[in-house]
Structure formats: C-alpha cells, structure tokens
Amino acid sequence: MDGITAGTATEVDLQLLGAELVEVLALGGSGLRLDLQPICAAATLLPVGYEALLRWEHAERGPIGAREILSAAAAADCETGLEAWVLVSAFRLRAAWKAGGPFLAVNISETAIRTGQAAPMVRAAMEASGVDPRGLSLELPEAAVVRELDAARDLALALRLQGVALALDDFGGAVGSARVLRDIPFATVKLDPELTRGVDGPSGDPVRTRAAVAAVVEMIHVLGATAVAEAVETAEQMRALRQAGCDALQGWLLGRPGAGPAN
C-alpha cells in the first residue's frame, strides 16, 4: 500500500485521524477505496495485472494516501481491522472480474507478517469473497521479509497451500536480499526504484546501472520468478528496463492508479 499526501501529519494529527479511521471501519469503510495501478507486460505494454492502492476520500481533508492512512491506523491500533478491510475489498473486486483475466496484487504489512495474522486474514477474505486464488498476488515488502524471515517463510508456505502467488516487493532496497530469494520461492520480484535509479542515464553511470539491473533480472529468472520494474516514469527508463530483461513494468508512464479493468 503506497501513496503520499501533501504535507506531513503531526503525532496529534495522526491520533485524531486514527480515531476517525476507527469510526470509518466500524461503518464498513465509508470513504475508503482501492485505486488500481496497471502492471504491464514489458513486451506489449498491455496490462497483465493491477496493484490495489489504498486511498481515503476524507470529507474535510480531501484525498489521503496509504502512507498517512497506515500511520493513522498504527496510532489508533486498528491496523488489523484496516488490513482485513483491504483484503476483503480487493478480493471482492477480483472475484467480479472475468476468470483468467489480469491478476490483482495486494500488499501485506509487516505487522501482519510478524504477528502471524496474515494467513488467517487472507483465508477469511477468500471465504468472504469467493475469489479464485489463481487471480491473486500478495506482495510482501522486502525489508519486512528480511527482518521477519522465519515468519515470512511460514506465511509463504501457508499461502502457497491456498493457491495464492507471492511477490517480493521493493527488491534491492534492504540488506539480505539474496538470502530472501534463496529461502522463499516468490513467483514475482518487484525491483526497488533505488536499484534501477539512473538506468536511463540522466545521472550516475548508466552503463553500470543497466549491467547491474540485467544481472539481478537474470538471477530472478534463474530462480524461476518474473521481474517487475516499479516507478517507470519515462520512455528512456522503459526502453532500458526492457533491454535489461524485465518481464513487466509499473509506473505513471504506463498508467496511474484508477478504476482498473472493466468487469
């Protein structure tokens, strides 16, 4: 769940916002929504999946992005309730799409991984929505997986038994990445923007950057996963990442978060 808002909320603001969020969740999530950003095949630039991004259309503050929503949820200790709402809402969206259509990617939080709540919440959301697990991809943030490797390994096994594909999000942004790829068979690995920064050549050494990205992509392929580049914003980035062998691309150049595909 990503997203930023204008300005930074103070601790008091977050506590107030968190209290409002508790009320919103008690009313079924009124004002909350999921925007969908396309993930496009590098070869055709056609959407093969969508990532669900949390938003809150606040009556007084206007649109609030996921980062601030999650901070407010932490301040109000309602992270579990928020994540359960996201999972059920996202799975219901995917259940309404055509069978065999694009996959829907949903983020799993570090808290849910660490506490062991993720697998039961996913199972409950699947039962509530009737979604086909083959249309889902659950994204685990690399930093969280590195810190909670044993819990992440247990979660990965539980989700695979439920037929859900796993994606490693923001790969290359934390120490210990290689061990994570060795220990958990992710179906998809999403490259952290810091890893691909400079691949288009405006700054740094683009030749070395492209070579490094290509080497990482090759490793991902050898391990049987697909490589997705995030934060693609220019045509030059797109060309370079295609040449590096990325399987799919995601970013504002290819589509901003919106309503997603027609049912």
State the CATH number of the domain containing residue 115: 3.20.20.450
Q: Which has the closest alpha carbon to 75: 30, 22, 128?
A: 22
**Mean local confidence (pLDDT), 58-85:** 94
**Mean local confidence (pLDDT), 131-159:** 95
Phi, psi (rounded to 5 degrees) for 118: -60, -50
Specify the residue for token string 């008091």: 12
Looking at the predicted structure, is the pLDDT value of residue 74 above 70? yes
**Mean local confidence (pLDDT), 6-28:** 83
pLDDT for the residue 5: 36
Specify the residue for token string 């669900």: 52
pLDDT for the residue 176: 65
pLDDT for the residue 1: 41
**What SS3 string covers the chain?**
CCCCCCCCCCHHHHHHHHHHHHHHHHCCCCCEEEEEEEEEECCCCCEEEEEEEEEEEECCCEEEEHHHHHHHHHHHCCHHHHHHHHHHHHHHHHHCCCCCCCEEEEECCHHHHHHCCHHHHHHHHHHHHCCCHHHEEEEEEHHHHHHCHHHHHHHHHHHHHCCCEEEEEEECCCCCHHHHHHHCCCCEEEECHHHHCCCCCCCCCHHHHHHHHHHHHHHHHHCCCEEEECCCCCHHHHHHHHHCCCCEECCCCCCCCECCCCC
The Cα–Cα gap between 86 and 106 comes to 8
Q: Which residues have a Cβ under 8 Å from the Cβ of 237 and sit 6 or more positions away?
A: 196, 199, 200, 229, 251, 253
Verdict on whether the full-model pTM lies above 0.75? yes
**Mean local confidence (pLDDT), 130-157:** 95
State the sign of the Cα–Cα–Cα–Cα dihedral 42, 227, 3, 98.
positive
Q: Report the percent of the chain where pLDDT is more than 90.
A: 83
Domain count, the chain: 1
Q: Does residue 160 lie within any of the structural domains?
A: yes
Q: Does residue 225 lie within any of the structural domains?
A: yes
**Mean local confidence (pLDDT), 122-148:** 96
Q: pLDDT band at 263, cuts 50/70/90?
A: low
The Cα–Cα gap between 185 and 228 comes to 16
Q: Does residue 74 lie within any of the structural domains?
A: no
Cβ atoms of 163 and 134 within 8 Å: the answer is yes
pLDDT in tens, 177-212: 778 998 999 999 999 999 999 998 766 688 999 999
By residue range, what is the domain housing residue 197?
A: 35-53+80-249
Q: pLDDT band at 3, cuts 50/70/90?
A: very low
**Mean local confidence (pLDDT), 3-22:** 72
Looking at the predicted structure, is the pLDDT value of residue 25 above 80? yes
pLDDT in tens, 30-54: 999 999 999 999 999 999 999 999 9
Q: Which two tokens stand for residue 252?
A: 């504002």
Q: Is 161 exposed, middle or buried (0-12, 13-18, 19+ CB in 10 A)?
A: exposed
Q: Does residue 8 lie within any of the structural domains?
A: no
Q: Does residue 16 lie within any of the structural domains?
A: no
> Which tops the pLDDT comparison, 21 or 262?
21
pLDDT for the residue 11: 74
Looking at the predicted structure, is the pLDDT value of residue 86 above 70? yes
pLDDT for the residue 202: 66
Q: Does residue 131 lie within any of the structural domains?
A: yes
> Which tops the pLDDT comparison, 32 or 61?
32
Q: Does residue 6 lie within any of the structural domains?
A: no
Q: Does residue 125 lie within any of the structural domains?
A: yes
